[in-house]
Amino acid sequence: MRGVDVMLLEKGDFCSGSSGGNHGLLHSGARYAVKDPESAKECVSESRILKGIAWNCIEDTGGMFVSVGKDDPGFADVFHDACKATGVRAARSTAKELHQVERNLSDDVADGFLVDDAVIDPFRLVLTNIEDARRHGATVRNHCEVVSFERSDGHIGEVKFKDQRNGSVGSVVPEVVVNAAGSSSGSIASMVGGNLAMTRDYGTLVVFSGKLVSGTVNRLRPPSDGDIIVPSHTSMIAGTTSRSISGPSDARPTIEDKELIIKEVSEMVPALRGARAIRAYGASRPLASGSSGRGASRTFKLIDHEEGGVDNLISIIGGKLTTYRMMAERTSDAVCAKLGVRANCTTGEEVMEASRLDEAVTLVSASQSESMRRRYGHVPSEMMNVVPVGSMGVQSCSCENVMRFELEHYASSEDVITIADLMRRTRAGMGYCQGTGCMWEMASALSDEGDIDLLIRDFVRERREGSSTVIEGDQLRQEMFRSHLLWPFQAARGGEER
């Protein structure tokens, strides 16, 4: 948008790391008002901007902070003052008023605040950004992992990357390299010989089937484990925990994490105790400061590696989803300064392309276009090209109401090579059956390019990863049933992956 020729390389799929591993809360800022006022202020301004430029990715649900019986009653005043000081809107409300908004709240809820939290779909947000970046001329490649940096005299020359689709190695000689690799930022920096001090903090989230809340419900107390419930599409996400980890092998939700979250959040919404937990997942938060966990600031840090001896590398670490645009703006400011580009950043004003799309004349039923609007923010007109003439076609995923033409549309994209890629774009497979039926449909849509056996195996591994320690109740029966259907694949491997 500032006239710079850009290439974006992603080793996996877009949003398959930390950005996709959060609860999708668009912070009003209230969560940070007391301890991290700078973050709070950033959230106030950024959430307002995002509601404009990325409206199709946001459900403006509103939210609340509630105090429960035993919570420190003094914290409400501290919270209220901090919100005022940071410009966060927080309307003090009685228990009765809060119950009117959320009927499943616990009777132990004493009082609280209504805030401007919203829910953002991280997958949709990242994909919308990608589409818009491409429209502005950027080259964007996923499934392309950087394998080497050529470096001489403190300057990065050729960057080589491997395309997972065919194993081919490509290269580019950039003037400036931006390292925005999330929890892999450290290893990227060290590949160049740079150094990045960062902490990895792991947070677990639990996904429940169905919705017991209409907006976000936060605990009115200092940030702690299990203090938030976020409604998301057909499910609820509750979290989080926070523990520092040394490497990716620790990055796995544990049964203790899950039990702790359920214990804590059910103090706010008791019915959650009986809700069906579909899976637990998590991601490591790459934190900028030396300290870790809850104490660490959630603001971001922009590092110019010039001082460390690399004159064209910039790393951006830390931060949070709500302030991603601001992080990007500061980063591109730094890039433009290096390149001598004087154009201003306009990401705060321009509505992103996918968000601006007019509603297509829909060939689909009213309920389907409603579902698509919820999942995509709009009914993508280009998708209509694959709707079978005269019919709505076949439903592929009934948990999330995804039609086969939606799968076929995304499967035809160069970006999509795995079932999980297709899932992130359509939500097929994210429901309580975790792809029991639709993974075959997705494999079918992708099978022109992919090996069906590998596609299925990868997807099952992706879904089971981390989750297998925490599933219980009827979700365990569900998993047994899914295994039952996978028998042909398992038997063929002689049970090697049992």
Partner 1 sequence: MSEEDRCIRCGSCMRACPVVSTFGESVFPGPRSLAVDAPRTGKPMSMDELLKCSICMMCRDACPSRIDLPRSILALRAANRRGTLRPGHKRLVENIDSYGYSVRPDEGVHGPYPCKGPTTCLFPGCISRWRRPEILDDAAYVLRSNGTEVACPEDLVCCGSPLEKIGEHERRERLVDRNFPILEKFERVVTTCPGCAGQIVGYGIDAMHIVEYLYEVVGVEHLVSGLDGKGLKIAVHMPCHLNRDVGPHTKEYVHSILGAIPGLKVVEYPEEDRCCGAGGSLLSGFPEMAAALAKGKASAADRAGADLIVTSCPFCVVNLTNAGTMRTLDIVSLLRTASNR
Partner 2 sequence: MIDLPKKEVDVLVIGSGAAGAISAWDSAVKGLDVSMIGVGTPATEMSSGCIRFNDDRSVPEGLGLDRGDLEDAFSRAERFLIDEMKTSGLKMEGARRDQGRYYRCHGTIVPENIVQGPTSSGGLDRIEGERICVIGFEDRTEFDHRLFAKALAQRSDLRVEHIAVGTTNGVLRNSSVDDLLDMFVDAAGSASGEVVFVPPFISLKDIDRWEELEKRSGRKFAEPVMDLGMPGARLRDALISSASRAGVSITNGASIVGMSISKGSLNEVTVRSGHRLQHIECGAAVFCGGGLVGGGLGVSGKDVIDPLGLFDVRYLREGDGIDILARASSGGIRTGPGLEAIVDGEKVRNLFVAGASLPGMNIVEGNGIGDAMATALLASKAATEASR
Tokens of residue 181, six digits: 């690799």
- Exposure of 491 by Cβ count < 10 A (0-12 exposed, 13-18 middle, 19+ buried)? exposed
What pairing do the DSSP bridges indicate for beta strands 216-219 and 228-232?
antiparallel
Residue 76 or 443 having the CB closest to partner 2: 443
CA-closest candidate to residue 385, choices 410, 368, 415: 410
Minimum separation from the CB atom of position 250 to partner 2 (A): 14
Span of 10-18, 146-154, 366-374, 379-387 interacting with partner 1 by CB under 8 A? 366-374
- Residues in region 469-498 near partner 2 by CB under 8 A: 469, 471-474, 476-477, 479-481, 483-492, 494, 498
Residue from 477, 492, 493, 497 touching partner 1 (CB under 8 A): that is 477
Q: How many residues bind partner 2 (CB under 8 A)?
A: 34
Cis, peptide link before residue 299, omega less than 30° from 0: no
Per-residue x/- marks for partner 1, 419-448, CB under 8 A? -------------xx--xx-----------
Contact 98, 24 (CB under 8 A): no
Select from partner 1, partner 2, none the partner in contact with residue 244, using the beta carbon and a kind-dependent cut-off of 5 to 8 Å: none
Which pair of structure tokens corresponds to residue 86? 């940071």
> Which entry of partner 1, partner 2, none binds 453, CB below 5 to 8 A by partner kind?
partner 2
First-to-last CA distance in the chain? 50
Residue 367: name its binding partner from partner 1, partner 2, none (Cβ under 5 to 8 Å by kind): partner 1
Interaction with partner 1 in 314-343: which residues (CB under 8 A)? Answer: none
Give per-residue burial for 163-185: e unless 16+ CB within 10 Å, then b: ebeeeeeeeeebebbbbbbbbbb
How far apart are alpha carbons 293 and 40 in whole angstroms? 18
Give the strand pairing for 313-318 and 177-179. parallel
Which of partner 1, partner 2, none sits in contact with 489, Cβ below 5 to 8 A by type? partner 2
- Residue 415 CB, shortest distance to partner 2, in Å, is 21
Unique residue bearing structure tokens 């990868």: 458
Q: What does 471 interact with, of partner 2, partner 1, none (CB < 5 to 8 A by kind)?
A: partner 2
Among 54, 205, 364, 399, binds partner 1 (CB under 8 A): 399
Residue type, 398: S
Q: What is the DSSP letter of 437?
A: T
Q: Closest approach of Cβ 483 to partner 1, in Å?
A: 12
Residues 272-311 binding partner 1 (CB under 8 A) are 274-276
Q: Which does 93 bind (CB under 5 to 8 A by kind): partner 2, partner 1, none?
A: none
Binding segment for partner 1 among 38-46, 301-309, 339-347, 364-372 (CB under 8 A)? 364-372
Across the beta sheet with 144-152, the strand order is 144-152, 155-163, 169-172
Most distant pair of Cα atoms in the chain: their distance = 67
Segment 393-432, which members bind partner 2 (CB under 8 A)? Answer: 394
Sort residue 321 into left (φ over 0), alpha (ψ -120 to 50) or beta. Answer: alpha
Site string for partner 2, 249-288 (x = CB under 8 A): ------x---------------------------------
Token pair of 40, please? 């709070």
Of residues 69, 137, 210, 388, which one binds partner 1 by CB under 8 A?
A: 210
Q: Which 439-458 positions form the footprint of partner 2 (CB under 8 A)?
A: 440-441, 443-444, 447-448, 451-453
Q: Is 197:182 a contact under the CB 8 Å cutoff?
A: no
Cβ-based nearer residue to partner 1, 276 or 338: 276
With beta carbons less than 8 A apart as the criterion, state whether 317 and 299 touch.
Answer: no
Phi, psi of 396 (to 5 degrees): -100, -40
Size of the residue set binding partner 1 (CB under 8 A): 26
With CB under 5 to 8 Å by kind, the binding choice for 494 among partner 2, partner 1, none is partner 2
Question: Is residue 392 near partner 1 by the rule CB under 8 A?
Answer: yes
Give whichever of 169 and 485 is closer to partner 2, judged by the CB atom.
485
Instruction: Pick the piece of the chain touching partner 1 (CB under 8 A) from 283-291, 312-320, 378-386, 474-482.
Output: 474-482
With b for 16 or more beta-carbon neighbours within 10 A and e for fewer, the 432-465 pattern comes to bbbbbbbbbbbbbbbeeebeeeebbbbbbebbbe
Amino acid in position 263: K
Question: Which range binds partner 1 by CB under 8 A, 54-62, 105-113, 161-169, 397-405?
Answer: 397-405
Q: Which two tokens stand for residue 62?
A: 């509103």
> Measured between alpha carbons, how far is residue 446 from residues 404, 417, 418, 487 in Å?
12, 7, 7, 21
Stretch near partner 1 under the rule CB under 8 A, chosen from 22-30, 132-140, 301-309, 392-400: 392-400
DSSP-derived pairing of the beta strands 7-9 and 139-141:
parallel
Q: Which residues bind partner 2 (CB under 8 A)?
A: 255, 394, 440-441, 443-444, 447-448, 451-453, 468-469, 471-474, 476-477, 479-481, 483-492, 494, 498
Catalog residues that contact partner 1 under the rule CB under 8 A. Answer: 209-210, 234, 274-276, 366-367, 370-371, 374, 391-392, 395, 398-401, 432-433, 436-437, 474, 477-478, 481
